[in-house]
Amino acid sequence: MKKVLLILATAALFATAQSSEKDTVPPAKKWGYKLSGFVSPQLFYDSRQVVSGREDMMLFYPKPIETDVNGNDLNAVPNLNMLAISTRLALSFWGPDVLGAKTSAYIEGDFTGATDASINLFRLRHGYIDMKWHSTELLMGQFWHPMVIHEVMPGTRPLNMGAPFHPYARFVQTRLSQRVGPMELLGVAAFQLDNKSAGPDGGSTKYLKATTIPELNFQLRYRGDRLFLGAAYHLLVIQPRLSVTDSAGNEFKTGTRVPSHSLTVFGKYEFPHFSLRSQVVWGNNLSAISMMGGYIESPFDETTKSYSYQPFGCTTAWVDFGMSKGKWRPGIFAGYGKNNDFGKTLENGSQVYGRGFEIERLWRVQPRIAFYPSEKIGLFFEVEYTRAYYGEEDLLIGPLCYKPGFPVSNTRIILQAIYNF
């Protein structure tokens, strides 16, 4: 009897979910919800070892050449793997108007885990409350980092979504937007959680929390019938240490902070059957959002009892062109990134926190083809070629100081299927 009741309750739940799917516009005075998601297995092959996360599914770029005593490249070893951790579940909720605003909430999760150690565990991707007035919108909760323009995302399918050329992260935030005709002003205050800044104690949210200043982002956007354009300024302030210790073992409180400034411009144009999207980022200390960048910590100054810091960053540009309708949907992504501080002379004993300081530049070309035999099922094939130009240590200056060195390439071949529900 318990099994029968459980089956009937489950059937009723899904019947309600299916009936709610028909409500394309949520009613203003009723409660409702919609269950959605997809199952997505992915097979991928790499021609060499890569810098990555999530069992290599989150690919950044190929590893440098490292030789054994015989001169053999230890990283020239291919990999093959298959995962389904990007499988996703989502719940949309809506209810009566509050304070004259349409209200809704959204919860979404997958199985990629918050860290590599928690892969296959269900984790929160998005979880937010949204209030929409006639020309004002307030969003509170976990959502895309403001440097990730969700209206201008690459059409690629792999987990990295164009990283490290395209920002990729979700932050807890408060987001307020105001529309005036086709123009929109947007302000965001964001806090780190799964994606963290690097520092002396590894990746941690404490470097941001110690400043009591959230990440701040301000955007100006234009929305037309087919054209979408915008620009944004981003401020990140962190405090790597709460205290320092001198050579005598004496501990001193410190409040030295590292401010970092970033800019981005972005745009999208929708053709009848194709879309063209692009973004350019100039920024510092962006490793928390899956890009190159970080900061340099100079050696401890015994006189001032302090460390000094200098952020380093990158300039990236990407473009994506792809078919958005039909059973066959080809497309291509291309990205370029440059280390703005490559070759910087460092003092002996300096520390570098972040990603990609030893890379001069890198680029990627990623053609794709998608086939949708039905509305709910998609099959995807992509080839992702990434080339990174690593520097060599300049021994005349010291370790962590680099001069132009050698390029390293990786070819990733991806086969993926998706079943939407």
CA torsion angle for 154, 156, 160, 165 (degrees, to 10)?
-40
pLDDT score for 114: 86
Q: What digits encode the pLDDT tens for the residues 292-315?
A: 999 999 999 999 999 999 999 999
Return the CA Rg of the chain: 24
pLDDT score for 71: 94
Q: Stretch 82-99: mean pLDDT, rounded? A: 97
Residue 13: pLDDT band by 50, 70, 90 thresholds? very low
pLDDT over 50 (residue 18): no
Give me the phi and psi of 27, to 5 degrees please: -65, 145
Q: Stretch 147-162: mean pLDDT, rounded? A: 96
| Multiple choice CATH, 33-420, 1.20.1250.20, 2.40.160.10, 3.40.50.300, 3.30.2130.10 | 2.40.160.10
Q: Stretch 3-19: mean pLDDT, rounded? A: 39
Give me the phi and psi of 226, to 5 degrees please: -120, -20
Q: Among 197, 303, 203, which residue's Cα sits nearest to residue 257?
A: 197
CA distance 53 to 168: 13
Angle formed at CA 266 by CA 264 and CA 269, multiple of 5 degrees = 175
Is the peptide bond preceding residue 164 cis, with omega within 30 degrees of 0? yes
Residue pair 190/205 in contact (Cβ under 8 Å)? The answer is no
Task: Give percent of the chain above pLDDT 90.
Answer: 88
297 residue type, one letter: E
Question: Residue 319 corresponds to which tokens in the numbers above?
Answer: 């473009």
Residue 77: pLDDT band by 50, 70, 90 thresholds? very high
pLDDT over 60 (residue 12): no
Q: What digits encode the pLDDT tens for the residues 41-72?
A: 999 999 999 999 999 999 999 999 999 999 99
pLDDT score for 23: 40
Domain ranges for the chain, please list them: 33-420
Q: What digits encode the pLDDT tens for the residues 258-274?
A: 999 999 999 999 999 99
Q: What is the mean pLDDT of the chain?
A: 93
Q: Among 223, 69, 206, which residue's Cα sits nearest to residue 151?
A: 223
Q: What digits encode the pLDDT tens for the residues 364-413?
A: 999 999 999 999 999 999 999 999 999 998 877 877 899 999 999 999 99
pLDDT over 80 (residue 24): no
pLDDT over 60 (residue 148): yes
Q: Stretch 315-341: mean pLDDT, rounded? A: 97
Q: Are strands 402-420 and 42-46 parallel, antiparallel or unpaired?
A: antiparallel
Q: What digits encode the pLDDT tens for the residues 205-237?
A: 999 999 999 999 999 999 999 999 999 999 999
CA dist 13 to 7, 354, 417, Å?
10, 46, 27
pLDDT score for 400: 85
CA dist 279 to 12, 100, 165, 319, Å?
45, 35, 9, 7
pLDDT score for 115: 86
pLDDT score for 26: 53
Residue 28: pLDDT band by 50, 70, 90 thresholds? low
pLDDT over 60 (residue 27): no
